A = this chain, B = another copy of it.
Amino acid sequence: MLQNIRVVLVNTSHPGNIGGAARAMKNMGLSRLVLVDPLDFPSGEAVARASGATDILDSAQVVKTLEEALVGCSLVLGTSARDRRIPWPLLDPRECATTCLEQAGQGGEVALVFGREYAGLTNEELQRCQFHVHIPSNPDFSSLNLATAVQVLAYEVRMAWLAAQGLPTKQEKLETTAMLNAQPATMDEMELFYGHLESTLVEIGFLDPQKPRHLMSRLRRLYGRCGISKLEMNILRGILTETQKTARGESHKRGEH
């Protein structure tokens, strides 16, 4: 699906930005780069900034006009500063990504078009785009670096693609949580822990059973929200047992555990 999405850079001045864009694309799993009339390409600076994404640069298509760059596309989105005299359907990067993925998922070819470093896209170029995309930036300092702007849109495309894959990010997250918590402690294990904690606090003289105040409820609130795993529970119980031995004079430094 991602191979249906091309990045089009119009009239780029600095070859370093072409390299940076190539790197950002490859980081996010995009591979098709089209350069419309670049000022300086190929270039060693582009290769340096690509930092290993030279395959993207090598296979980049160089064309003379935006029209050529858009051949075969069924959806074209152009990046734009917000204020344009002609109002146009405007998407934020997240909406842009969803729209791209929908189209690419149906087999359509999609272009994300980026303008010149200082001047952006001309009004004529913008009118070739069905949608405009605006990266919501600080109104007092709104112009992003070109490669960085490519990164933001490519990142959103990847997030949408991962979501469309059946949520592997979520899946990975679940796996991490699964590893982390291995098995969560059950409620009855938590209750045994609270009982053990309470009696230990009494033994070391921190908790006065005649004047318990809110101590145990505060500790319950703390440990209750942590999502304690069985492994962590064993550690906490082990600490309590060792503390009790110390309090009873049964054990001193370096006990086995």
Count, chain A residues at interface, CB 8 A: 74
In the complex, what's the smallest C-beta–C-beta distance from A141 to chain B, in angstroms?
Answer: 5
In the complex, what's the smallest C-beta–C-beta distance from A207 to chain B, in angstroms?
Answer: 8
8 Å CB interface, A80-116 against B: 82, 87-90, 92-94
Do the beta carbons of B138 and A29 come within 8 Å of each other?
A: yes
Which one of A19-27, A62-70, A187-195 contacts B? A19-27
User: Is A75 an interface position by the 8 A CB rule?
Assistant: no
Beyond A147-B148, A151-B148, A159-B136, is A242–B27 a contact (Cβ under 8 Å)?
A: no
Do the beta carbons of A173 and B253 come within 8 Å of each other?
A: no
In the complex, what's the smallest C-beta–C-beta distance from A199 to chain B, in angstroms?
Answer: 12
Which one of A33-41, A120-128, A224-232 contacts B? A224-232
In the complex, what's the smallest C-beta–C-beta distance from A150 to chain B, in angstroms?
Answer: 9
Chain B residues within an 8 Å CB radius of A257: 205-206
Of chain B, the residue at the smallest CB distance from A117 is: B51
Measured between alpha carbons, how far is A145 from B247 in the docked complex, in Å? 54
Of chain B, the residue at the smallest CB distance from A179 is: B87
Chain B residues within an 8 Å CB radius of A253: 202-205
User: Is A73 an interface position by the 8 A CB rule?
Assistant: no
**Chain A at the B interface: mostly helix, strand, loop or mixed?**
helix
User: Is A164 an interface position by the 8 A CB rule?
Assistant: no
Chain B residues within an 8 Å CB radius of A251: 204-205
Select which of B92, B206, B219 is within 8 A of A242 by beta carbon.
Answer: B206
Measured between alpha carbons, how far is A145 from B20 in the docked complex, in Å? 8
User: Is A61 an interface position by the 8 A CB rule?
Assistant: no
Select which of B53, B138, B144, B222 is within 8 A of A232 by beta carbon.
Answer: B222
User: Is A13 an interface position by the 8 A CB rule?
Assistant: no
Do the beta carbons of B206 and A87 come within 8 Å of each other?
A: no
Do the beta carbons of A94 and B159 come within 8 Å of each other?
A: yes
Residues of A within 8 A of B (CB): 20, 23-24, 26-29, 51-53, 82, 87-90, 92-94, 135-138, 141-145, 147-148, 151-152, 155, 158-159, 162, 169, 172-173, 176, 179-180, 201-206, 208, 215, 218-219, 221-223, 225-228, 231-232, 235, 238-239, 242-243, 245-247, 251-255, 257
Closest 8 CB pairs of A and B: A205-B255, A206-B242, A87-B179, A29-B138, A205-B253, A204-B246, A226-B226, A148-B151
